[in-house]
Amino acid sequence: MLQFKKSDLCVEQVKLSDIAERYGTGVYVYSKNQIIENFESYKKALGTKSGLICFACKTNSNGVILKLLSKLGAGADTTSGGEIYRCLKAGFDPLKIVYAGVGKSAEEIEYALKSKILMFNVESFEELDAIDKIARKMKVKAKISLRVNPYVDPRTHSYIVTGRKGTKFGIPYKDALRAYLLAKQKGNITIVGIHSHIGSQILDIAPFRLAAKKIKDIVDSVEKNIVKLEYINCGGGLGIEYEKDQKAPSPKQLMSEIFDVFDKDRKFIFEPGRSIIGNAGHLLAKVLYRKVSGSKNFLITNVGMNDLIRPTLYKAYHEIVPVRKTNSKKVKTDIVGPICESGDFVGKGRMLPVVEQGDYLLVTYTGAYGAAMSSEYNSRPLLPEILVDGDKTTLIRKRADYRDLLLNEI
């Protein structure tokens, strides 16, 4: 849905230069129809199988986007009380909300129980204990899956690997049966399934297959000795094509690997985040200044690591494109932000056409973990967000201002 019309780069039918003039820059711009297409491809892949596609709302928690997905039939994968709150406000059925995370606080557990969510994905023995105790106090039963760490390395960036032995996530593989036995003995716990999520931005199908097989072994033992598991939650993690030479498996390929491993009468849960919203959103920036320092050409833009931290934190690659096509020659350029840190960059060593002061640049595929991970560092107000639908634009988050910076100060 990102396309050139003559010389103008557009999201759907809308020229990005028009968005820049109307709403200012930096600004996050999303394509509604790309989100729908991405979600529908998961729904289609699930087909007639019983289950849920739970959008991992840590990737992007804008209420309008959440509402759109809930209307399309999505469930939600949440990771905090705040995310549960946002999802309920956006209209998600609580019975489609799952809740993972290694550090659920007592207040969050209580809030999730009060909200009657579908299930907790429990990540430790002590958390199991805590949920049981709180549920007993509230005189309710807590539905849980155990998040099992299958000891599978998806070989993605080390910060976003979760299924390898020795990470903080899930119940260690070797302890899984013992955890199920213990859960079975708890008075206020109802075991409903199993969960596993091995990492993010995974472009290789093999680790998904391996994890499914290892989880299947646990399912077999649990069902033989302890309890029937209604839900198999396979997590998220499917990568997207940030770079031209990358090839991501489709939801269909992912699911057929998994359905091959398990028998038919299961309820499957998938928790995609990046592959729903990643390529549907982009960050629009303006060139403030140009500079040559040492042997390097710098473009200094008005978006920085507070607006998009992925390049700084993971050395993540986002393609950067001028929103007007030019025939000018390409030069090697570092695209940086205004923050007072040398780690503040959007892209390094990129071959970009010569651009002028005031030109607009699009930092592409920043819909996932872009706005959601932004901060006010250097006292920079949070950016606005725009949803494009055909030739229509809607402001879905207004630009914050200086007063917002002081909002909660006493």
Under the criterion CB under 6 A, does residue 197 sit at the interface with ligand LLP? yes
User: In this complex, which beta carbon is closest to ligand LLP, that of residue 38 or of residue 393?
Assistant: 38
User: Among candidates 198, 202, 207, which has minimal Cα distance to 233?
Assistant: 198
76, 100, 171, 396: which one contacts ligand LLP (CB under 6 A)? 100
25, 38, 59, 70: which one contacts ligand LLP (CB under 6 A)? 59
Under the criterion CB under 6 A, does residue 149 sit at the interface with ligand LLP? no
Q: Which of residues 298-317 bind ligand LLP (CB under 6 A)?
A: 310, 314
Q: What letter would DSSP give residue 327? A: -
Q: Report the side by side order of strands in the sheet with 2-5.
A: 2-5, 8-11, 14-15
First CA to last CA distance, the chain:
45
Q: Which residue has the tokens 């607006």?
A: 307
User: In this complex, which beta carbon is closest to ligand LLP, that of residue 54 or of residue 113?
Assistant: 54
Under the criterion CB under 6 A, does residue 271 sit at the interface with ligand LLP? yes
31, 38, 275, 364: which one contacts ligand LLP (CB under 6 A)? 275
Minimum distance from CB of 156 to ligand LLP (Å)?
Answer: 9
User: In this complex, which beta carbon is closest to ligand LLP, that of residue 154 or of residue 322?
Assistant: 154
Q: 134-143: which pairs have CB atoms within 8 A and are 24 or more residues apart? A: 134/106, 134/109, 134/110, 135/188, 135/189, 136/187, 136/188, 138/110, 138/113, 138/114, 140/113, 140/188, 141/188, 141/189, 141/190, 142/109, 142/113, 142/188, 142/189, 142/190, 143/118, 143/119, 143/190, 143/192
Under the criterion CB under 6 A, does residue 257 sit at the interface with ligand LLP? no
User: In this complex, which beta carbon is closest to ligand LLP, that of residue 85 or of residue 314?
Assistant: 314
Cis peptide leading into residue 166 (ω within 30°):
no
User: In this complex, which beta carbon is closest to ligand LLP, that of residue 81 or of residue 272?
Assistant: 272
- 340 an active-site residue? yes
Residue 207: in which H helix or E strand, if any?
Answer: helix 206-225
Whether the Cβ atoms of residue 365 and residue 327 lie closer than 8 Å to each other: no
Q: Which residue has the tokens 């090697």?
A: 332
19, 20, 56, 335: which one contacts ligand LLP (CB under 6 A)? 56
Q: Which of residues 157-176 bind ligand LLP (CB under 6 A)?
A: 160
Total of residues contacting ligand LLP (CB under 6 A): 21
* Tokens found for residue 374: 């932004």
- Which range in 40-48, 106-114, 172-180, 231-239 contacts ligand LLP by CB under 6 A? 231-239
* Tokens found for residue 135: 């549920």
User: Among candidates 372, 281, 276, which has minimal Cα distance to 12?
Assistant: 281
Minimum distance from CB of 127 to ligand LLP (Å)?
Answer: 14
25, 61, 201, 279: which one contacts ligand LLP (CB under 6 A)? 201
15, 104, 164, 274: which one contacts ligand LLP (CB under 6 A)? 274
Contacts (Cβ under 8 Å, ≥6 apart) of 220: none
Site of interaction with ligand LLP (CB under 6 A): 56, 59, 77, 100, 160, 197, 200-201, 235-238, 271-275, 310, 314, 368-369
Active site residues: 340
